[in-house]
Structure 1
Amino acid sequence: MSLFLWVFTWWPSSALSLLLSVVGRQTGLEVVQATVCSRLDLEALKYTYAMVFALEEINRNSTLLPGVKLGYRILDSCSRYPWSLQGGELVPLLICAASSTSIIISRILGPLSVPVISYLASCPCLSDRTKFPNFFRTIPSDIYQARAMAQLAIRFNWTWMGAVVANTDYGQLAIQVFQEEIQGKGVCLEFIETVNRENIMSDARRAALKIKASTATVILIFCWYTDVKKVLLELAKINVTDRQFLASEAWSTSDDLLQDLAISKVASGVLGVAIRSSTIPGFENYLRSLHPSHRPDDEFFREFWQKEFGSCSGTESLEGVQHPFTDTSQLRVAHNVYLAVYAAAHALHSLLSCPNRDSPPGNNSSTCSSPKHIKPGELLQRLNKVNVSTPQGEMFHFQGADIPAKYDLVNWQNTPEGSLKLVLIGHVDGFDLHLNESAIQWSTGSNQVPVSVCSESCPPGTRKANRKGEPLCCFDCIPCAEGEINNRTDSLRCERCPSEFWSNSEQTACVPRQLDFLAFNETLGITLTTAAVSGAAVTTAVFVVFILYHKTPMVRANNSELSFLLLLSLKLCFLCSLVFIGRPSVWSCRFQQAAFGISFVLCVSCLLVKTLVVLAVFRSARPGAETLMKWFGPGQQRGSVCLFTFVQVIICAIWLSLSPPEPRRDLGFQGSKVTLECSMASVVGFFLVLGYIGLLACTCLLLAFLARKLPDNFNEAKLITFSMLIFCAVWVAFVPAYFSSPGKYVVAVEIFAILASSYGLLICIFAPKCFIILLRPEKNTKKNVMAR
């Protein structure tokens, strides 16, 4: 009356198949060595006794499987898959180790509904219940450790990494999940090197040279610890000690690597994901109490004892001995074995528990079996619903084939002896990463996180531009254009500022655009103001000269009253330009155009009347034209000037009353400044003002041109002709310049036209007269003025 439960562990150097039997009140031990292995693996041996300890603990438990005792059979399969089913008996439950072994055994036993529980098979493929409906495990799927490692890369901003993976399902599936997890997260793999167990020396050398040539400083390794050791030794040979390694659980806690001084400089600072550690109370004392004399049939333990003590005299003891075999400070895989045994025991307990065993079978509240008639399919159903509670109060259950994912995060740190020690720096609970960053010692020897990027992050004020033909993690940083900003790191594009804002000098923020107008305190404003004031001052000086010499022939002969009025209008023309300078306001916008239009019409009207007077004087000298001068007397002259000017006053009044210029911000000119200008609400009014001035100026130019050859020195027609030519040329050039100038330079162009035409009139008409009055007084005589 026996029921067998196999426990099969796979290890590279040696493997142990542990066969559990459920017997009525009997406990037995049988050791069968199927073949001779090269050496004994202490870790696998520790897993074996974790199973034995769990069995004995269950057998002492009066509430779990009462009346039933568990036994076991230890089989050595030496890492050979065909030997994993040795024993020649069909068993209702098998506990096994590695993924490859689990896949083979699950497929063989699946049609028979024999449950398989693994404590080390982490292949994600085994989570597929359609292919492996009879499989369970007490170790998380590699999907979760790959996700945790991707989270670490993202958290530390390692965007440029290398990877070395085993050319097995373990390595290939893990790197595939890792790549899926980092997709779209800004992390790239520079290279993926695969290593094969059959060619490990050459592959390790190739991987080491690839790591040395790489620009990535963080290297991800999904390999078995023996393969990793070869790679690290090759790196030590070529003195590569500046790489930060990210370790998978297959080698992150390997004592063989931690104690090897040859790789301590290369492996310092390793950050790894590890199978979670836990405690099994009483297990250390149990291990130390083991002795060959108590286990005469245990060939494995006898081999271990001879290796450590050299003999079996009976006086040797593990008590007080510091040895990896008795070290239970961080039980990882052994704890998974412990849980697997308890999961099997609880499933059996559920199946064997019959609340109403004495009642008829049809009245049983639950289906149950006896130890003599356990069906594997029934046990499989119980395992799917099992809820394990260990003596330490630890609870876990299966979610399909898996248990809730939990990992430790470990760090390899230097010790004074030169070796490395394992330091717990955090843990992973499902998708949550809990990490004490301050406790990490990095490969650089400092607490500064290593930088591993293809391109440095693009700071605010720039945007990322991907390099053609290179991974997304390799890019250039392009400064944002003017008027565009970016206040984030590694942004793909810059944002344009709103119309009334502009980018600051760092291109990181939009700031209000500065108001720009032609101010008195800027260079251009000062220059134009100086020119206007100087023109007004010169005009005043000429006015004073004409007053002082008003009785001289030169002043009297040139119609002194109109000359004084012309000087007054010229002074107004110079001064009206000052209204255009300064911050535009409602008042200044309306006044400046009216002042300009009226002042220039007054000026041109005076010249037009002077020209008409010249023509009338010479026409009156002809016989029969004496009455012509009656129409051009002083009163008529003043009236004509007032009439011409009044027409302009009417035009300005209508324009300013219907659609006056108003201050407006011109956003059309892109720049850090916004122009504050006087907007012409009605262009028609402005062109009517200019057109009327142009009409008078052209009429004056035509008449002066006709009178330019009239005799006598006092003839002003020549001077008026030159002045009007300059006047018209200036204002003809003004129109295209006005409409093509940007911002405040529109105002500057109009002021320049006002000043240029005013200076032209002042110089052409009054400079010759002042020259004679002041410097050639001998020519300021009636005889000289009247000479032909």
Structure 2
Amino acid sequence: MVAVVRALGWSYVSTLASEGNYGESGVEAFVQSSREAGGLCIAQSIKIPREPKPGEFAKVIGRLMETSTARGVVLFANEDDIRRVLQAATLANLSGHFSWVGSDSWGAKMAPVQGLEEAADGAITILPKRASVPGEGLGGLGGTGEDWEGLGPSPSCPNGVCGPTGRERIGRDSPYEQEGKVQFVIDAVLAMAHGLHSLLGEACPGGGLCAHMDPPDGRRLLTHIRRVAFNGSAGTPVSFNENGDAPGRYDIFQFQGGNGTGAYRAVGQWVQGLHLQEDAMAWGSNSSSPPPSVCSLPCGPGERKKPVKGVPCCWHCELCGGYQYRADLLTC
């Protein structure tokens, strides 16, 4: 998300977090990454209470307007908080002032933006790259009669008169498609299995189980899990880095809408780096580029920058007086 903000040419943004581990740790990681990257300052970091009082979201918008030139706002917030922030911006007649950058909790969901398309217009959101597990990947899953309720008629009873036979298979005999994040659950189980298999080969080289695996040592198992590399359930590579994290792979969307309509459009991806399709992005009818989100505008001719202490992205412009001229950006 830091790379997205920098690619938009922003140097001064605010952050919004829902109270709790997801929101607060997300913003903390964003702020830390922005420090490491350099050239990006945080105007405000606002936390939305877990149980907001009446008028709380109007106060949030009011606080954001205290640094109104920070038009970029990075959100790590739950779906309900996102919607209420957009509602508050609309009620304050500020639709279009802020440009939102939302984490995967926003993703490509319509619920937060329904009826608030103008306030959400131009929002950039991300989602982990994912794919539905193909039918053959679910071929071993059958289920009971109760499991098949709501999935349509069974193959042996196309008119739905008789019950399931128990031989049905999801993906083969039903149009049901797994939700995209299911692949991560399956791949987590597969990573555990590959790690156990690797540990077994090391601890019991003679084959079968041995005393060293009764029970297996958790630390050794973790080491083996972090070494695994295989193609996952959706055909994508699965591996882990030295911190135990899988390589980040994200799709990037922009919500493009207004006048009561709107849709998410894929505008890029992150795979070992950011790839944005700038020609696919839209910024309203009056602009072909993202709105500025900066603390200070460039100084004019004959003016020097006077930096604001402690905020490297901010400065005042001072006119070089008398017979002075500007020698460089900071000196008359």
Where on the TM-score scale, by shorter chain, does this alignment land: which range?
A: 0.7 to 0.9
Report the counterpart of residue 176 of structure 1 in structure 2. Answer: 28
Report the counterpart of residue 205 of structure 1 in structure 2. Answer: 58
| Whole-Å separation in 2 of the counterparts to 1:212 and 1:444 | 23
1:314 has 2:160 as partner: yes
Pick closer, same or farther for the CA change 1:440–1:383 going to 2, 3 Å. same
1:342 has 2:195 as partner: no
User: Cα deviation per residue 1:138-196 (whole Å; 9 max; x = unaligned)?
Assistant: xxxxxxxxxxx223333323233222112223322332333333348443333222112
Report the counterpart of residue 478 of structure 1 in structure 2. Answer: 318
SS at 1:457's partner residue?
coil
| Whole-Å separation in 2 of the counterparts to 1:249 and 1:390 | 21
1:231 has 2:231 as partner: no
SS at 2:291's partner residue?
coil
Report the counterpart of residue 103 of structure 2 in structure 1. Answer: 248
Pick closer, same or farther for the CA change 1:296–1:181 going to 2, 3 Å. same
Q: Is the 8 A contact 2:186 2:233 kept in 1?
A: no
User: What's the offset of the Cα at 1:464?
Assistant: 1.1
Pick closer, same or farther for the CA change 1:190–1:388 going to 2, 3 Å. same
Letter in 2 for 1:438: D
1:167 has 2:55 as partner: no
1:402 has 2:242 as partner: no
TM-score after normalising by structure 2: 0.74
Q: Is the 8 A contact 2:303 2:326 kept in 1?
A: no
The within-5 A match list for 1:52-201 is: 149-183=1-35, 185-199=38-52
Report the counterpart of residue 412 of structure 1 in structure 2. Answer: 255
Q: What 5-or-longer segments of structure 2 have no aligned partner?
A: 153-158, 163-169
1:219 has 2:59 as partner: no
| Whole-Å separation in 2 of the counterparts to 1:327 and 1:449 | 36
Q: 1:280 aligns with which of 114, 118, 133?
A: 133
Pick closer, same or farther for the CA change 1:382–1:472 going to 2, 3 Å. closer
Q: Provide the aligned length of Structure 1 versus Structure 2.
A: 306
| Whole-Å separation in 1 of the counterparts to 2:314 and 2:121 | 28
> When you count strand as a share of all residues, which structure comes out higher?
2
1:268 has 2:121 as partner: yes
Task: Tell me the C-alpha RMSD between the 2 structures.
Answer: 3.9
| Whole-Å separation in 2 of the counterparts to 1:492 and 1:428 | 37
Q: Is the 8 A contact 1:351 1:367 kept in 2?
A: no
User: What's the offset of the Cα at 1:197?
Assistant: 2.2
Structure ranking higher on relative contact order (CA contacts 8 Å, 6+ apart): 2
| Whole-Å separation in 1 of the counterparts to 2:75 and 2:193 | 37
User: What's the offset of the Cα at 1:221?
Assistant: 1.2
Q: Is the 8 A contact 1:408 1:428 kept in 2?
A: yes
Q: What 5-or-longer segments of structure 1 have no aligned partner?
A: 1-148, 307-312, 355-360, 495-788
1:458 has 2:299 as partner: yes
| Whole-Å separation in 1 of the counterparts to 2:302 and 2:177 | 60
Pick closer, same or farther for the CA change 1:392–1:180 going to 2, 3 Å. closer
Q: 2:278 aligns with which of 437, 460, 470?
A: 437
SS at 2:111's partner residue?
helix
SS at 1:193's partner residue?
strand
User: What's the offset of the Cα at 1:379?
Assistant: 3.9
1:421 has 2:263 as partner: yes
User: What's the offset of the Cα at 1:465?
Assistant: 0.9
The within-5 A match list for 1:318-717 is: 326=177, 331=180, 333-351=181-199, 365=205, 369=209, 375=216, 377=218, 379-390=221-232, 393-399=235-241, 400-414=243-257, 418-430=260-272, 432-442=273-283, 446-458=287-299, 462-467=303-308, 471-479=311-319, 482=324, 484-486=326-328, 491-493=329-331
User: What's the offset of the Cα at 1:269?
Assistant: 1.0
| Whole-Å separation in 2 of the counterparts to 1:253 and 1:352 | 42
Letter in 2 for 1:166: S
Q: Is the 8 A contact 1:267 1:412 kept in 2?
A: yes
Identity of aligned residues (%): 23
SS at 2:116's partner residue?
helix
Pick closer, same or farther for the CA change 1:456–1:380 going to 2, 3 Å. closer
TM-score after normalising by structure 1: 0.34
